[in-house]
């Protein structure tokens, strides 16, 4: 079912670089997928710096609630007067940290960057199906980022109802200051973000289906592409629901409707709203919210699959099972949203159903974890920084995934719901894991993006500091949660029962600072390598996939001549003939563009 790229497309590109390109069309309003991918990455990283900085601020508050820090006053202005953090701004920091990290860094920054970079390159296409829509998609994302950052300067504070923006808190400015202008800007920003994400996703799906080069059947796609493809589909299925939820919330806020509001008495006044239900919002929100977890995670898993296979010099174990797991996870992810709502007041029978579907999702996840481990077995592991981050991802994916078995069980959820146990769980399984996927991708494809190599030793330092820091932050956090400490508490000092947790909170904050300092190493490495890095060769990691057959210098259209044809799957690493010799003598990899050798059997995966 592979589709050949139209030949008429080819000759346009035989003479590249001759298009008149101005600075603006090349670097700003570019329609080239490689440039757009870089734009996504840089924007995502900048948002990431903001998000992580916020987390450091509220971690300081949690560790030393009685202490006065001048830094609060410098960064938070009137909300940090005399070095005391305002409880409202604490909630705002938590809210915006969550929003930025989930949507702006791990959805757009990760999936946006690598889907754009790799889909055309790895399937053998000149560009995305629609370069123009792709450009629009980025600029909408940029606009939404700007609005989100602007919302930080709202007079009464930015949105502060938690990143899940449950109404009525998010609907009523009387309930919390941040639900005024701050919340309006949040909703506008997210609506634009959703439009951007949808345009991007549609483009990815169309490109993967229609623009594969000759010979690139679906079963010869690298797992990265499978992951991006399926991610785009669940994005298309679930993001519109969030848009509807947001639209109804906008109506409740501004036009006096009662979709989510009923029987409310606040600030000495009865509101007219009647008949609405906040539980409806929770359903709509989590119908996106849960697939969103996999929108964040699947691209990271796809990236890791590719990097682990390349650096283990071994085929990924169980290619078909990996594809099947991605599909199973994607399908199940759309029918588990209710596990966020076991104690929301919805019918307990629904809780039973969602427990069932939720624990089912552990099966494909387990298969993936075991397959990664088996891929390492008897490999010839090349510990490039990208490989370290990939192994790190498998590690945090397992640790974080296992506690999901507790949270996904409606019974056990009763007492750990909304405690720090949950915070620890999802940070490990989707936050840290997806970040590792992002870092792995940057280290691995940096030569393709910038034509330079990143410094490996700084990469190693970055990895080990991050790995120790991440576990140091989130492993002890489970225990704090088991003590019954609720999340989103400005301080725990009003409950003397929690006094003995203070030391652990300090420890967590110290680790958070260590981990954050490690990211500075990455930033330095990233920026300095762009300018002063060693020039990359065409295929530095000796990889099989198509992107490494393109020249280091970027061309609009990717390949200088014709688009290469594909003759094999992407994981022929260390493949030997019967006599024990490599298929191509002296070389432990066989690029996808090399036809089957004499006497070689094609694997049917």
Partner 1 sequence: MTVFLTIVVIALFGITLWQMSKILKLSQAKIDNSQVANDKDNNLQGKLMLAFVIFLYVLMIYCFTQYNSYFLPESASEHGVDYDRLMLISMVLIMIVQILTQGLLHFFSYKYRGKKENKALFFADNDKLEFIWTIIPVIVLAGLIIYGLFTWTDIMNIDEEDGDPLIVELYAYQFDWRARYSGEDNELGKANVRFIEGINTLGLDVSDTYGKDDKITNELHLPVNRKVIFKMRSQDVLHSAYMPFFRAQMNVVPGMITEFAYTPTVTSEEMRNSEFMVEKVATINKIRREKSKKLVAAGDEALEEYTFEYYLLCNKICGVSHYNMQMKIIVESEEDYKAWLKTQPTFGEQLSAQASN
Where in 525-544 is the site for partner 1 (CB under 8 A)?
533-534, 540-541
Contacts of 26 (CB under 8 A, 6+ apart): 32, 35
For residue 313, the tally of other CB atoms under 10 A from its CB is 15
Which region, left, alpha or beta, applies to residue 165 given φ > 0 means left and ψ of -120 to 50 means alpha?
left
* Structure tokens given for 206: 């169309």
Q: CB nearer to partner 1: give 146 or 363.
A: 363
Question: Using CA of residue 530, residue 143, residue 294, residue 216, what is the dihedral sign?
Answer: negative
Using rule CB under 8 A, residue 101 touches partner 1:
no
CB of 134 or CB of 304, closer to partner 1: 304
Binding-site member from 46, 218, 250, 362 for partner 1 (CB under 8 A)? 362
Q: Tell which one of 344, 513, 552, 562 touches partner 1 (CB under 8 A).
A: 344
**What phi, psi does 501 have (nearest 5°)?**
-85, -10
236 binds partner 1 (CB under 8 A): no
Q: Which stretch binds partner 1 (CB under 8 A): 31-39, 118-126, 181-189, 338-346?
A: 338-346
Smallest gap from residue 470 Cβ to partner 1 (A)? 11
- Residue 587 forms beta bridges with which residues? 584
Beta bridge partners of 584: 587
472 binds partner 1 per the rule CB under 8 A: yes
Q: Restricting to residues 492-531, name those near partner 1 by CB under 8 A.
A: 492, 494-497, 499-504, 506-507, 510-511, 514
Q: Which is nearer to partner 1, 250 or 461 (CB)?
A: 461
Of residues 533 through 592, those in contact with partner 1 by CB under 8 A are 533-534, 540-541, 571, 573-576, 588
Interface region with partner 1, contact rule CB under 8 A, candidates 233-241, 289-297, 425-433, 488-496? 488-496
Least CB distance to partner 1 at residue 360 (A): 7
Angle at 497 between CA 491 and CA 499, to 5 degrees: 55
Sign of the four-CA dihedral 575, 580, 581, 583 = negative
Task: Let me know: does 300 contact 390? Beta carbons within 8 Å.
Answer: no
56 makes contact with partner 1 (CB under 8 A): no
Q: Show the binding pattern over residues 398-417: x = contacts partner 1 (CB under 8 A), - = does not.
A: xx--xx-xx--xxxx-xx-x
Task: Name which of 18 and 535 has its Cβ closer to partner 1.
Answer: 535
Q: Which of residues 169-188 bind partner 1 (CB under 8 A)?
A: 169, 172, 175-177
Q: How far is CA 146 from CA 112, 321, 455, in A?
A: 17, 41, 32
- Answer whether 592's CB lies under 8 Å from 220's CB: yes
- How many residues are given for the chain? 605
Binding residue for partner 1 (CB under 8 A) from 257, 277, 560, 567?
277
**Nearer Cβ to partner 1 (33/425):** 425
The CA distance from 455 to 459, in Å, is: 6
Q: How many residues bind to partner 1 according to rule CB under 8 A?
A: 140
User: Is residue 388 near partner 1 by the rule CB under 8 A?
Assistant: yes
Q: How far is the CB of 411 from partner 1 (least distance, A)?
A: 4
CA 119, CA 204: separation in Å to the nearest integer? 7
């Amino acid at each position: 079912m592979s589709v050949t790229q139209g030949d008429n497309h080819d000759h346009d590109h035989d003479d590249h670089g001759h298009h008149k390109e101005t600075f603006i069309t090349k670097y700003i309003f570019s329609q080239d997928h490689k440039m757009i991918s870089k734009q996504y990455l840089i924007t995502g990283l900048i948002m990431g710096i903001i998000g992580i900085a916020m987390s450091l601020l509220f971690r300081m508050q949690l560790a030393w609630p009685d202490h006065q820090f001048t830094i609060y006053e410098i960064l938070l202005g009137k909300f940090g007067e005399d070095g005391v953090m305002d409880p409202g701004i604490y909630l705002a920091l938590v809210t915006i940290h969550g929003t930025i990290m989930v949507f702006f860094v791990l959805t757009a920054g990760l999936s946006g960057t690598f889907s754009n970079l790799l889909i055309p390159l790895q399937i053998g296409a000149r560009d995305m199906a629609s370069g123009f829509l792709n450009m629009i998609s980025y600029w909408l994302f940029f606009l939404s980022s700007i609005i989100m950052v602007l919302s930080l300067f709202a007079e009464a504070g930015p949105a502060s109802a938690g990143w899940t923006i449950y109404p009525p808190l998010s609907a009523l400015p009387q309930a919390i200051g941040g639900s005024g202008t701050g919340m309006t800007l949040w909703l506008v920003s997210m609506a634009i973000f959703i439009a951007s994400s949808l345009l991007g996703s549609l483009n990815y799906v169309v490109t993967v289906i229609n623009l594969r080069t000759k010979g690139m059947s679906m079963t010869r796609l690298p797992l990265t592409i499978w992951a991006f493809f399926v991610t785009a589909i669940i994005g298309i299925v679930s993001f519109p629901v969030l848009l509807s939820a947001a639209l109804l919330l906008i109506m409740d806020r501004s036009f006096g409707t009662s979709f989510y509001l009923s029987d409310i008495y606040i600030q000495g006044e009865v509101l007219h709203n009647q008949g609405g239900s906040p539980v409806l919002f929770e359903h709509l929100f989590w119908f996106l919210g849960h697939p969103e977890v996999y929108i964040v995670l699947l691209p990271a898993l796809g990236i890791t699959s590719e990097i682990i296979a390349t650096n283990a010099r071994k085929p990924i174990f169980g290619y078909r099972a990996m594809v099947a797991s991605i599909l199973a996870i994607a399908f199940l992810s759309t029918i588990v949203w209710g596990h966020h709502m076991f104690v929301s007041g919805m019918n307990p029978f629904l809780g039973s159903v969602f427990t069932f579907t939720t624990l089912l999702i552990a099966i494909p996840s387990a298969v993936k974890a075991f397959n990664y481990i088996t891929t390492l077995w008897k490999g010839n592991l090349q510990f490039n920084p990208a490989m370290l981050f990939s192994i790190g991802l498998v590690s945090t994916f397992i640790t974080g995934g296992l506690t999901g078995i507790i949270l996904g069980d409606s019974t056990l959820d009763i007492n750990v719901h909304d405690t720090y146990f949950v915070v620890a769980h999802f940070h490990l399984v989707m936050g840290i894991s997806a970040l590792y996927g992002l870092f792995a991708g940057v280290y691995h494809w940096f030569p393709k993006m910038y034509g330079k190599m990143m410094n490996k030793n700084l990469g190693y330092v970055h990895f080990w500091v991050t790995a120790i820091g991440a576990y140091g932050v989130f492993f002890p956090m489970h225990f704090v949660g088991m003590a019954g400490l609720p999340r989103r508490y400005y301080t725990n000092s009003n409950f003397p029962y929690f006094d003995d947790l203070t030391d652990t909170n300090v420890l967590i904050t110290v680790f958070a600072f260590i981990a954050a300092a490690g990211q500075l190493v990455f930033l330095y490495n990233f920026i300095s390598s762009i300018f002063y890095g060693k020039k990359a060769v065409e295929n530095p990691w000796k990889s099989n996939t198509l992107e490494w057959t393109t020249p280091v210098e970027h061309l609009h259209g990717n390949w200088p001549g014709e688009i290469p044809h594909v003759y094999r799957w992407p994981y022929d690493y260390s493949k030997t003939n019967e006599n024990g010799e490599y298929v191509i003598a002296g070389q432990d990899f066989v690029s996808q563009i090399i036809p089957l050798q004499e006497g070689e059997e094609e694997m049917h995966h």
